[in-house]
C-alpha cells in the first residue's frame, strides 16, 4: 500500500519512540514531531481506523503488524539513505534531513539499485 508521506512519518515516529521509550502516547508523538495534540489525535484516529495502530485502555499507542511493516520499511530506507549520503561526503545532519524527505518518494526499484551500488562500491573500496 502506498501511504501518504505524513502517515509514513507518523508510523516511523511511533516505531522510533517504541525503541527508545517502550510505550508511546499521543503527547510523546506531539513532542517528537513538534505538532499540536489535536493534530496528532486526528492522525492517530485515522491511522487506527485504517488498521495501522491500536490504542489500549490507557491510551498507549502500538503499531499493528500492518503498521509495523510500513514503519520498519520507512525507517530502513531512512537509515540506508542517510548512510549512503554520509559515505558520499554529505554532512550527517544534512544526510538525515535529506533522507527523511527522499524516503517517502523513492521507488523500491531505485532504492534497491542505489543500495546495491553502494554496497558494491564499499566492497571494492575494502579490497
CA–CA separation, 54 vs 17, rounded Å? 15
Which residue carries 566492497 as its cell?
123
Report pLDDT digits (tens) over 40-74: 999 999 999 999 999 999 999 999 999 999 999 99
Q: Using 50, 70 and 90 to split pLDDT, how confident is the model at 4?
A: confident
List the domain boundaries for the chain. 5-69, 75-125
pLDDT confidence of residue 3: 65
At the topology level, CATH places domain 75-125 in Diphtheria Toxin Repressor; domain 2 (1.10.60)
pLDDT confidence of residue 54: 96
Report pLDDT digits (tens) over 75-91: 999 999 999 999 999 99
Checking 15-20 for CB contacts under 8 A at 24+ apart, the result is: 15/63, 15/68, 15/71, 15/72, 15/75, 16/75, 18/62, 18/63
pLDDT confidence of residue 1: 40
Q: Which set of grid coordinates corresponds to residue 46?
A: 485515522
Evaluate whether the domain defined by 5-69 bears CATH number 3.90.1150.10.
Answer: no
Amino acid at each position: 500500500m502506498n501511504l501518504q508521506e505524513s502517515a509514513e512519518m507518523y508510523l516511523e515516529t511511533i516505531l522510533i519512540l517504541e525503541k527508545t521509550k517502550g510505550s508511546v502516547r499521543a503527547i510523546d508523538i506531539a513532542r517528537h514531531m513538534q505538532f499540536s495534540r489535536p493534530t496528532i489525535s486526528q492522525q492517530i484516529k485515522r491511522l487506527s481506523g485504517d488498521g495501522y495502530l491500536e490504542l489500549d485502555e490507557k491510551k498507549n499507542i502500538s503499531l499493528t503488524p500492518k503498521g509495523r511493516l510500513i514503519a520498519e520499511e520507512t525507517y530502513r530506507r531512512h537509515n540506508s539513505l542517510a548512510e549512503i549520503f554520509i559515505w558520499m561526503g554529505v554532512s550527517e545532519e544534512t544526510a538525515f534531513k535529506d533522507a527523511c524527505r527522499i524516503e517517502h518518494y523513492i521507488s523500491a526499484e531505485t532504492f534497491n539499485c542505489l543500495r546495491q551500488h553502494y554496497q558494491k562500491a564499499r566492497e571494492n573500496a575494502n579490497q
